Homo-oligomer: A and B are copies of this chain.
Amino acid sequence: MSKFTIAIHGGAGTILKSEITAKQEADYKNALEVALTCGYQVLEKGGSALDAVRAAVVSLEDIDLFNAGKGSVFASDGSQEMDAAIMDGKNLDAGAVSAVKNIRNPIELAFAVMTLSDHVMLNGRGAEDFARLHNIKSEPDDYFFSALRFAQLKQAQQKGEMMLDHRSLNPNKKFGTVGAVACDAQGNIAAATSTGGMTNKKWGRVGDSPIIGAGTYANNQTCAISCTGHGEPFIRSVTAYDVSCLMEYKNLSLQDAMHIVVHDKLLKLHGEGGMIGVDAKGNAAMMFNSEGMYRAMKNNEGVKEISIYK
C-alpha cells in the first residue's frame, strides 16, 4: 500500500485577509475541511482516487460558498450554466460537460459521460437529456438562487463587465471553481473540476474547467491536475497537460513542473490563478500566482493543511 493523498481547491484570485471577516474565513475553512474529509474517507476505506475526487467535489458543489453547483454565479441572461470535467489517470478515461443547467452535481454528470457514454464531452441541452436518461439529480432554479449572486450579476451588469470573481462585491478578482485531485492506496490518481463560470457571462463562453488538458488532466504516469483561474490563458497554455508533459518528457518532479507552468508560462500570457496536483507516489502540491487560493490537502502520513492566503 502506497501513500494516499487528496488535495482540493475552491478557487483562486485576489483573496485578501483584510477583506474577509473572521466569520467568513471560518466558514470557508470549515467547508474546505468537510470536503477534504469526504474525499479522504473514501481513500481511507481503500476506495479509488476517482471516487475520492467525486466525493470531495460533490461536497463543494452542495454548498453555496463556492462558484460551482449550488453556489454557481449568474450568466448575463440570469441563467446558471455550469461546466465540469473528471479524468481517471489509470486508463485516461475522461468525461466533461459544458453549459448545463439545473444539474445538482455537474461532476456526477461528467462521471456519467465518462462511464456510460462513448463520448468525452457533452454540451448544453443534449447533456441535460443525457442526464435525465441516467437519472442524474436535477434541482429547480430556486435551489441555485442566491441573493448575493444575484446582486453580483446586477453589479456586473451596471459596470458592463463580466466578473470571473465568485463573491466579490468589491473589485477583487476571484476565480470561482472547485476541484480535487487524489492518489489512492493502489497508486491510481484522478482529477475533477467544476465551475459555475463567470458572473454576467455572455455568448455561451466556455472556460478551461471542462477542457481536458487545460483545466483538468490525470495520467498515472505523471500527475493529476485541477486548475482554477482566468480560463482563457489556461486554455491557450493547455495548462494541466503541460505539467504532465514536463514530467513525462523532461523528468521534472510534480513540484518543479507545476512551478514552471504557474510562475512562468501562465504569467507570460497574463494568466492569473493556480492549480492543485498529485503524482502516483502520493506527493501533492498546491500552487498559485494570485493573492490567494482556497485550498486543502491531507495524506495518510499525517500531513494536513487548510489555507486561503499566500
Contact = CB atoms under 8 A, between A and B. Distances in A.
B212 A212 contact: no
Contacts of A249: 245-246, 249-250
A162 B232 CA distance: 32
A11 interface: no
Contact of A123 (B123, B130, B237): B123
Nearest to A240: B238
A58 interface: no
A17 interface: no
A254 interface: no
A118 interface: yes
Interface residues on A, range: 35 or more
Question: What copy number does this chain have within its complex?
Answer: 2
Contacts of A50: none
B250 A238 contact: no
Given A98-B123, A99-B124, A245-B249, 10 more contacts: A92-B237, A94-B235, A98-B206, A120-B235, A121-B205, A121-B211, A122-B204, A122-B205, A213-B213, A245-B245
Interface of A: 87, 92-94, 98-99, 117-127, 129-130, 162, 202-207, 211-214, 217, 231-232, 235-238, 241-242, 245-246, 249-250, 269
| A-B CB proximity, top 10 nearest | A126-B204, A245-B245, A249-B249, A213-B238, A123-B204, A126-B203, A121-B206, A130-B203, A238-B241, A213-B213
